[in-house]
Structure 1
Amino acid sequence: MKKKDRPILQTTIDDNNTSLLQWTLLIAVVFFIFIFQFRVALFNAFTVGNGDAFGFEAPLLEAMIYTFALLLIAGIRLIRTWKINDFRAILSMAVLFLPVMYLMSYIGAVTVHNAKLMMLTQFMVVAFFILGLYIAENKLHRTILAKAIQLSGYGVVIYGLMNLFGQAYFPNALWKADESFRLTSIFQYSNSYAGFLTALFLGGLFLVIHCKQWYWRSLHAFMLVPIWISMMLTYSRAALLFVPLLVLIILPFLRIGKQFTYLIYMFLAIVSSFAILSNITIAADKIATALNFESEAGNTFSIWNKQPMIGWGLLIGAALVVAAIITIFHSRLLNWIDSKTEKFTANKWSFVAVPLIFVIIGSLAATLLLASSGVRSLLPASIADRIANINFEQHSVLERGTFYKDALKLSGDYPLIGAGGGAWTVLYEEYQNNPYTSRQAHSYFFQTLIEIGWIGLILLIAFLVLVYTLFIRAYIRNPELRGSQLFFFILSISILAHSAIDFDMSYSYLAIIVFLSLGAMLAPFHQKLVLPSMESIKDRKWRIAYPISLSLIALILFTWVYREYSGNLAYRHAMDLAVVQQKSLDELLPSIDDAINISPSHPDYTLRKINWMKQAFQQTGDVKFRQEIKKLIDQLKPFEPYNRYLLLEEYQFYKDEGQQDRVLQVLNDGIKKFQWDINFYEAAIMEYYLAGEKDKQNNPELTDTKWKQSLELYQEVLNRIELLKTLPETQLQGREFNVTFLMRQAIGIIHYNHKDYEAAKALLVQDIAENLQDNVYARTTVRYYLASLEATGQNDENLYNKLIEADENERASLEELYKNN
């Protein structure tokens, strides 16, 4: 069959379709793009019950309410246009596997609230894929969508620079890093911001060479320098490494002339940025120091202040130069290159020639930059040092390698459908190799593996491969349809590539941009990507089953999320009553109870009420508050079996109740789940020692059993300390993990009771304090140390006198110990 006769060229829908509903959906999506990015890019922080992540939830729920309303409209729209013989129909059904997998893993999730939130988030994300498939089917809508994404990105860049130069304040828009500040803008995390900037920069270059109107070309060219400056000030080494790799992926899709102009403009923007980077860094550091950004005081500078004027002047000046050069010479440059490469273009392998040249020149440039101190001296010292340290032995690379190994260990226990959304947040400490702290797995694909298992990950990868394969095939076969869809390809591949080594996709806004772009890049080929085998049934009445089902799903999700949002509002009202208005407990309880009734799995709600019940009991002594605490603990535990804060509340409750066996049970559970938390080891060693001390008179066998547990736990701590010494020299250990004062005291006393006086002395002598007056624990250590000395025929008169001066009762306690030696 000849290529022109292939069924793939069949038509399914009119490209000029511009119905009112279509316009409504497009405008609503554009509005979403401009508004919700400034809500910390809709970051899903995963709550653990300490309240730190709670502030991220409301924007996420608001975005879901908005999205599911859009999805309902889209479902109604698709009743008329959805055809089963259209590849979009197959993809719009296939993409639902992602939230369905999250729904399946939600049923047995290890953290029910986070799994629920992640499942709803995935429905929101795939809704934008479906929207992208159907709202970007004509050229005008694609153009509007592309400009909306890019312009909204420019807004983020400008706002980030306003924070850098002191005209705006956004919490954590700058991070202190050594002597400089890392730019994070609205993301509050520099690496994910760098991933976003990479997509903006490469997408902006594409728009520069494809815009028809000179003023749009000027705008996109003008923003290249601010974007690159911003990316350099994120200090993200990974982003710099990804740029040339992504350029290699993009170039083959362009004709030879545009390949050259793409690289020339990129080179021009980068060189211009480097020319002013040192002075901008100096100005920005002075501003950050003067405004004391670390204090989060929210101070700002006038733009007319000297340092901001220097920064903005350099930046705008360089950007104007680049924009002017590109705007003036673009047509002539492109025509000249086209004329010089006309004959060469006829070669079928010509499209890979420029990428090969780029690889050679890029490799030489990278070698020169890394090897030459003279070249690096042109850059700010902080940036030059980070570039010079790019290697596979740097701590960030080694730490990510550890994350991924631990993720594989974790997935081994939840292989098929995973442990549910947010599982890494509560499970990683049970599997971690060393005591690092990371609430994110730092990889979209490894996090997906943990949350929805190997089945979910394989389906996700298969879906992405299918989408990109369809796009590449359609792009090659239909040159007459080429245009802005490549922009969406650039955005999606750039963010996805960077998300392989960081948690960019935990920013729901970025995930939405990716899936919206995946849909939009296929939408132009809707007339070509059809299924001839389905032609005979495309108009059957039952075809409306999917659009109606989609509408019903949207309605259910809208209702579900709205209810969750009402719980969020109730909790915020309770906190306002408590913190701002300082109302009585009776006035707080109705709101907090409403929140818990709406979302009983939410750890923040229940743990907050437990805290209030504890305070009420301490103030009144009324046992009904303690009973309520037990009830709340039992209610939350099935939803949050791995929650550290709930475990600590349970431990404290049983300790206050004097239920020693339950205390030990909770601590053992804590050590199993948090194997690098030294506080659990310390508490367990002390509790086993105290339990043994209590049984010493009546049941010495139990004493030996419990003290043996203390000794074994202590040895486990020592073994883990030795294990940490095997970490590569450049890999950071993470949290502190060392033997504590109370551990040494408990184990020292146990050694003393076992008449191993040398071992007792060796431990206790490490904690002899200068001040014994107001420190009963320090006096206990000294008492047993002196007793150990006496048992081995030694003494320390000065220390003995110091102890007696601190507390005369210690004389009798010491005499009692001496008798038993």
Structure 2
Amino acid sequence: LECFFVFFVQFDLKNLTFVRGFGEKGRDISFETKNVVYRFTFYHDAIKMIQKKPFLGWGGGGWAARYFSFQSHTYYTKFPHSFFLNTLIETGIIGLAFLLLFLFYSLRIYIIHSYQDQSLSITHFLGVGVFFIFLHSSIDLNFAMGAYQIFAWTLLALLLSSISLQKIKLSIPLIIPLLFSLLFFVVSIFWGNAEYYYQLGNEYRANNDLVHSAQAWETAIRLNPWHDGALYQMSNLSSDIYLQTKKDEFLQLAMEKNQKALAIEPFNYEYLRQKADLFLLKGELNEAWNNYRFSMELAPMVLGNYEKILFAFLNFINSQNKTMDPSTINQIKVYTEAVYHLYFENQSKSTQPNPPSEALNFLKRDIDKLIGGGNAVNSMTEN
């Protein structure tokens, strides 16, 4: 335990990260700073999520998957800046109760030990350090970093292991933790390599190297079959190839990859918008609209989502304009009007409303020029 503590202190003093971090935050303490205001927004939206599923929560990664649906205004963050709120979101009241019970029990053991051992030892300093780490995690995203979280729990485990627990007798064969460690090591190798190939595929795609990007993403999927990002990118790539070749097998492949990505992340608004894009390519307007509408419901404050939906309709019009019948034109009028008005409607609920972007206005204007606008029957949006 002492060696672990000395290593941390030497490492930190060398880099001054711990001391410098506290100094910077100390100068920035105010309820009016941007960071604090945003935190209150995150907490407010987190509470709205918790109210929907208070007992069992939303599951692992619940905040990142669903926070767009509960936003008070547009922002992007994969963690609500509170370890305890995040635990409450993911596991509900039951999960948080178990966590707090464990932490309270650990604190109780430490306090009893401190009263019994009045000597000044490293254990006391570590106890205070662990306490402040978990306290600080209640208002920050430090536990979102895997290495930091491993460090915190390891520190707590070392602290408890240094305290004699005579009343607790646990007999766990050494082979069990060794097997778990080995399993974790093997899985981390596969998943780590999968992420490497995923990023490699993104680089190839940025350079318009379709063959190597497809190979890299397929490798990522083989290493981690639940890599929804790689599946999503493969679907995008397949649809792009379909647009170039007009071969139906690529459109079918795009649908299959998209379905697999949605099976892993069913509430991802981008995956749903992609699904709608694919239905639009197939000419199935009603199915496309149902998925577009669901996508907008999942991310009501994300301006880019509305822009991309209108852009997809504009591309569809340009590709079908000479062959569209009046009923199809009327449908598109209804849907594009609905997209535009939904943006205003959702922004009216925002605590920081934003006007439509120039891109959104231009897209709507171009669509109206091609097919006319404003005369559609709005009741169709309820279908």
C-alpha deviation, 1:400, in angstroms: 1.5
C-alpha deviation, 1:647, in angstroms: 2.6
C-alpha deviation, 1:708, in angstroms: 6.1
Aligned partner (choices 116, 135, 140) of residue 497 of structure 1: 135
Matched-pair contact (CA < 8 Å) for 1:677–1:737? no
Aligned partner (choices 169, 178, 190) of residue 563 of structure 1: 190
* Counterpart-to-counterpart distance in 2, 1:427 and 1:708: 28
Q: Classify 1:574/1:684 alpha carbon distance in 2 versus 1 (closer, same or farther; 3 Å).
A: closer
Matched-pair contact (CA < 8 Å) for 1:592–1:605? yes
* Counterpart-to-counterpart distance in 2, 1:425 and 1:402: 15
1:646 aligns with 2:271: yes
Q: Which residue of 1 is the match for residue 88 of structure 2? A: 449
Aligned partner (choices 530, 547, 553) of residue 180 of structure 2: 553
Alignment of 1:139-538 (within 5 A): 142=2, 144-157=3-16, 197=18, 227-228=19-20, 231-232=22-23, 234=24, 236=25, 240=26, 390=30, 392-480=31-119, 482-526=120-164, 529-531=165-167
Q: Which residue of 1 is the match for residue 286 of structure 2? A: 661
Aligned partner (choices 347, 356, 372) of residue 738 of structure 1: 356
Matched-pair contact (CA < 8 Å) for 1:601–1:639? yes
C-alpha deviation, 1:710, in angstroms: 5.7
C-alpha deviation, 1:499, in angstroms: 1.6
Residue identity opposite 1:555 in structure 2? L
Ranked by relative contact order (alpha carbons within 8 Å, sequence separation 6 or more), the top structure is 1
Q: Classify 1:656/1:578 alpha carbon distance in 2 versus 1 (closer, same or farther; 3 Å).
A: closer
* Counterpart-to-counterpart distance in 1, 2:336 and 2:209: 45
Q: Which residue of 1 is the match for residue 380 of structure 2? A: none
C-alpha deviation, 1:639, in angstroms: 0.5
C-alpha deviation, 1:555, in angstroms: 3.4
**TM-score for both structures, normalised by structure 2:** 0.80
C-alpha deviation, 1:746, in angstroms: 6.3
Q: Classify 1:665/1:752 alpha carbon distance in 2 versus 1 (closer, same or farther; 3 Å).
A: closer
Q: Classify 1:567/1:697 alpha carbon distance in 2 versus 1 (closer, same or farther; 3 Å).
A: closer
Q: Classify 1:463/1:584 alpha carbon distance in 2 versus 1 (closer, same or farther; 3 Å).
A: closer
C-alpha deviation, 1:668, in angstroms: 0.7
Aligned partner (choices 207, 221, 230) of residue 596 of structure 1: 221
Residue identity opposite 1:460 in structure 2? L
C-alpha deviation, 1:436, in angstroms: 2.0
**1:705-764: per-residue Cα shift (whole Å, max 9, x none)?**
87666666555433443344xx4xxxxx38x4537314467689544679xxxxxxxxxx
* Counterpart-to-counterpart distance in 1, 2:131 and 2:355: 40
* Counterpart-to-counterpart distance in 2, 1:707 and 1:598: 45
C-alpha deviation, 1:431, in angstroms: 0.9
Supply the RMSD in Å over aligned alpha carbons. Answer: 3.7
Residue identity opposite 1:416 in structure 2? F
**1:591-650: per-residue Cα shift (whole Å, max 9, x none)?**
532321332221232233234334443444443322221221122211011223323332
Residue identity opposite 1:507 in structure 2? M
SS in 2 for 1:479: coil
Matched-pair contact (CA < 8 Å) for 1:411–1:450? yes
Residue identity opposite 1:721 in structure 2? Q
Q: Classify 1:718/1:511 alpha carbon distance in 2 versus 1 (closer, same or farther; 3 Å).
A: same
Q: Classify 1:694/1:752 alpha carbon distance in 2 versus 1 (closer, same or farther; 3 Å).
A: farther
Aligned partner (choices 247, 254, 257) of residue 632 of structure 1: 257
Residue identity opposite 2:194 in structure 1? G
Q: Classify 1:566/1:512 alpha carbon distance in 2 versus 1 (closer, same or farther; 3 Å).
A: closer
* Counterpart-to-counterpart distance in 2, 1:615 and 1:714: 26
**TM-score for both structures, normalised by structure 1:** 0.40
Matched-pair contact (CA < 8 Å) for 2:228–2:260? no
Q: Which residue of 1 is the match for residue 296 of structure 2? A: 671
**1:530-554: per-residue Cα shift (whole Å, max 9, x none)?**
11xx7xxx6xxxx654544333333
Residue identity opposite 2:166 in structure 1? V
Matched-pair contact (CA < 8 Å) for 1:419–1:451? yes
How many residue pairs are counted as aligned between the two chains?
Answer: 367
The runs of 5 or more residues in structure 1 that have no matched partner are 1-135, 137-141, 158-192, 198-226, 241-382, 728-732, 755-821
Matched-pair contact (CA < 8 Å) for 1:667–1:680? no
SS in 1 for 2:234: helix
* Counterpart-to-counterpart distance in 1, 2:213 and 2:84: 42
* Counterpart-to-counterpart distance in 1, 2:104 and 2:237: 51
* Counterpart-to-counterpart distance in 1, 2:368 and 2:109: 66
* Counterpart-to-counterpart distance in 2, 1:445 and 1:464: 12
The runs of 5 or more residues in structure 2 that have no matched partner are 378-383
